[in-house]
Amino acid sequence: MSTSAIKGKKRYGWWLSIPLLPLLGIAIWHSALPTVTVHYPKEGREELRYVWNVKDRIYRGRMPPGSSVSDNGFIFPNSQFFMEFSWQSQRGRWHCISVTPKWPETHIYLDENGDIETQDESDNDRLKQCEWDLAKP
């Protein structure tokens, strides 16, 4: 009698995992997207305002010193795909870069002035001047 009770629990226990399948699918999809992360050092002088524009999916925000912001690209970008990151300090000029994300991650490092860091760990080969914005990198 105890074996049939155990079989019943196993049979119904599987059904409880079905609601988790969409969450698993979302997690796999999110991890498959190429991600671009912009890092601002703790030594930064002031908070930066930024705008992400990923094929007209626009996010605005603020980035205090010592923080990072990121956004995802597309798995299969077409010829019209673009990803632009614009930022400005309170007293500084606007900067704008166009990013070609690589899979799985692209990292961009800013210096304490909010300019693009030219050290080796930054993926500067994936950057170019913005096509849709006149601000210089």
Per-residue pLDDT tens digits for 78-88: 888 999 999 99
Q: Is residue 42 part of a domain?
A: yes
pLDDT at residue 50, as a whole number:
97
Q: Is residue 135 part of a domain?
A: no
Domain containing 40 equals 34-129
Tens of pLDDT along the chain (137 residues) come to 555 555 555 666 777 778 888 888 888 877 888 999 999 999 998 999 999 999 989 999 999 999 999 999 988 888 889 999 999 988 888 999 999 998 889 999 999 999 998 876 778 888 998 876 666 76
Per-residue pLDDT tens digits for 105-121: 999 999 999 999 887 67
Question: How many domains are there within the chain?
Answer: 1
Neighbours of 88 (CB within 10 A): 16
Q: Is residue 44 part of a domain?
A: yes
Q: Is residue 7 part of a domain?
A: no
Q: Is residue 68 part of a domain?
A: yes
Q: Tell me the whole-structure pTM to 2 decimals.
A: 0.78
- Which residue type occupies 104? P
Q: Is residue 134 part of a domain?
A: no
Beta partners for residue 84, in sequence order: 53, 98
Q: Is residue 16 part of a domain?
A: no
